[in-house]
Amino acid sequence: MWHRGDAGKARDLYDLCAVADAEPQAIEQAAPFMRRHGAAFLQRLQDNAELTRADFEAIDAIGLPRDFDHCLGQAQKIIEPLLRALES
């Protein structure tokens, strides 16, 4: 979300989930950007789910294969609490 902000792509979703799994403490460092762009990021992924899914499945990644729906759910679990905290 640092580079593309609210115009996130499938690769951004993949990277978010990879970082959350491998270095969960790094998520806190990215929290300000997720608070700023998180709602638009999630909305874009949901609005363009089929295209994003195809792009996600085409990612040539080393290591653990990731499922689009799982990663989308993981992103929601990470970002939505940050957005709710802004409302408080």
- Give pLDDT tens digits along the chain (88 positions): 555 556 779 999 999 999 999 999 999 888 888 888 899 999 999 999 999 999 999 999 888 889 999 999 999 999 999 998 877 6
Surface-to-core class of residue 16, CB atoms within 10 Å of its CB (0-12 exposed, 13-18 middle, 19+ buried): buried
Does a structural domain hold residue 83? yes
Counted domains in the chain: 1
Does a structural domain hold residue 79? yes
Alpha-carbon distances, residue 82 vs 28, 32, 47, 59, 86 (angstroms):
10, 9, 21, 27, 7
Does a structural domain hold residue 1? no
Does a structural domain hold residue 33? yes
Residue range of the domain that includes 24: 10-87
- Residue 62 is predicted with a pLDDT of 85
Query: pTM to 2 decimals?
Result: 0.87
- Residue 3 is predicted with a pLDDT of 54
Does a structural domain hold residue 57? yes
Does a structural domain hold residue 2? no
